[in-house]
Amino acid sequence: MNGTPRDKTMTIDDVVGQLESGMTIGVGGWGPRRKPMALIRAIANSELTDLTLVAWGGADVGLLARAGKIRKLVYAFVSLDSVPLEPNFQKARQEGTISEIVEIDEGMFNAGLQAAAQRLPFLPIRAGLGSDVMVHNPQIKTVTSPYADADGVHEDLVAAPALNLDVALVHMNRADKHGNATYLGPDPYFDDLFCMAADKAFASCEQIVDTAGLTVDTPVQRVLLNRMMVDGVVETPNGAHFTTCTPDYERDERFQRAYAEAARGSDEDWAAFHERFLSGDEASYQAAVRAFAEEAAK
């Protein structure tokens, strides 16, 4: 038996080709930060439909909602930070184009991923108790602790259900061809939990490097994903655009404003934005983004 780690390098199309309509897909990153946008753009242009999307959402949710790909959305928030409410998501909510909505507390979301990662049906937590989260999600139950506290009380807790994923999609700064991957910015977010909660996980990255290069001038603890968590690796330079991928680049605020204006505008405004930036493949998108930046700099 060959003990050499296998080469897991893939293309964007390879990843999308492994997805199926009706799947539950978890998207890593956090709002407008380090989202696997190259993969999201490809899904938006695919034939996939009826997806369940699980995310601390940003433009990933917005783009897929506008493209009519989402049947069910599980989320704690959907924001672009400097644009507080993602406009395509706002439009989808107002028009009711997403069939099923599950809005939960951030702590419940985290516990749900942890439960799925540990192959548990739920985890008991206090987050959500006494809030309207429970009112609007009657499917989420409470459990009574079998252990009494110091006062002899058996506490009621929220049974945060596992967020089991068919597929997780994340974006990292660097990865090797085997699936080990590192983040270089200030926050790992919850990308490792997404990968462990999923049957399959795919990581896009700014650059594929030799394994030894993952820890050059970088603390070992920045290696967030190990190869056992990851089924495929895709090199996608600028692939998180227009979200952040610190320190490789920050959020493209000028482009984000253009996106938000088109999303809030008429159907014709969005069609023009889509035609210019989103109608082609990833190379076409990146070329259009460069041209947009050059025009703005004049």
For residue 270, the model assigns a pLDDT of: 98
- 3-class DSSP assignment, residue 144: strand
Q: Looking at the structure, tell me whether residues 81 and 212 fall in a common domain.
A: yes
**What is the DSSP code string of 209-256?**
--GGGGGTTS-GGGEEE-GGG-SEEEE-TTTTTTSBBTTTB---HHHH
DSSP 277: I
Q: Are residues 223 and 206 in the same domain?
A: yes
Task: Kindly report the CATH number assigned to the domain that includes residue 70.
Answer: 3.40.1080.10
Residue 261 resides in a domain: no
117 lies in some domain: no
Number of structural domains in the chain: 2
How far are the Cα atoms of 72, 90, 228, 250 from residue 96, in angstroms, in the given order?
11, 10, 39, 33
What's the burial of 84, exposed, middle or buried (CB within 10 Å: 0-12/13-18/19+)? exposed
- What is d(CA 127, CA 109) in angstroms, rounded to the nearest whole number? 10
User: Could you tell me the CA-to-CA distances from 274 to 33, 96, 98, 143, 268 in Å, in that order?
Assistant: 22, 22, 20, 47, 10
Range of the domain at 183: 12-104+163-251
Query: How far apart, in whole angstroms, are the C-alpha atoms of residue 292 and residue 282?
Result: 15
Provide mean pLDDT across the span 98-121.
97
**128/223 same-domain check:** no
- Per-residue pLDDT, 212: 87
Residue 38's pLDDT is 98
One domain, residues 148 and 175: no
Half-sphere exposure of 296 (CA within 13 A, CB side): 12
pLDDT band for position 222 (50/70/90)? Answer: confident
Q: Is the pLDDT of residue 247 over 70?
A: yes
Q: Bigger pLDDT: 94 or 1?
A: 94
CA-to-CA distance for 80 and 72, rounded, in angstroms? 20
Do the domain assignments include residue 51? yes
Average pLDDT, whole number, for the chain?
95
Residues 168 and 154 in one domain: no
Domain shared by 172 and 157, yes or no = no
The DSSP symbol for 160 reads E
Q: Are residues 221 and 93 in the same domain?
A: yes
Predicted confidence (pLDDT) per residue in 159-216, tens digit: 999 999 999 999 999 999 999 999 999 999 999 999 999 999 999 999 999 998 888 7
Tens of pLDDT, residues 41-88: 999 999 999 999 999 999 999 999 999 999 999 999 999 999 999 999
- Is 33 strand, coil or helix? strand
The DSSP H or E segment spanning 69 is none
Q: Which residues pair with 157 in a beta bridge?
A: 143
State pLDDT tens for residues 135-169.
Answer: 999 999 999 999 999 999 999 999 999 999 999 99
93 & 20 share domain: yes
Residue 2 banded pLDDT, cuts 50, 70, 90: low
Chain center to CA of 20: 17
24 lies in the same domain as 152: no
Specify if 260 maps to a domain: no
The two structure tokens encoding residue 209: 């490097």
Give me the pLDDT at residue 219, please.
Answer: 67
Q: Do both 93 and 195 map to the same domain?
A: yes
Category of 289 on φ-ψ map: left (φ > 0), alpha (ψ -120 to 50) or beta:
alpha
- What's the Cα-to-Cα distance from 187 to each of 30, 184, 214, rounded to whole Å? 10, 8, 17
pLDDT score for 1: 47
Query: Is 269 among the domain residues?
Result: no
Please check whether residue 230 lies inside any domain of the structure.
yes
DSSP state of 30: B
Structural domain includes residue 190: yes
The token pair that represents 182 in the structure block: 């590192």
**Cβ-based neighbours of 235, under 8 Å, separated by 6 or more:** 9, 175, 204, 205, 206, 207, 208
In a domain, 209, yes or no: yes
Q: State how far the Cα of 165 lies from the Cα of 170, in Å rounded to an integer.
A: 13
Tokens read off for 137: 């999600």
Pair (16, 91) in one structural domain? yes
Statement to judge: residues 244 and 222 lie in one domain: yes
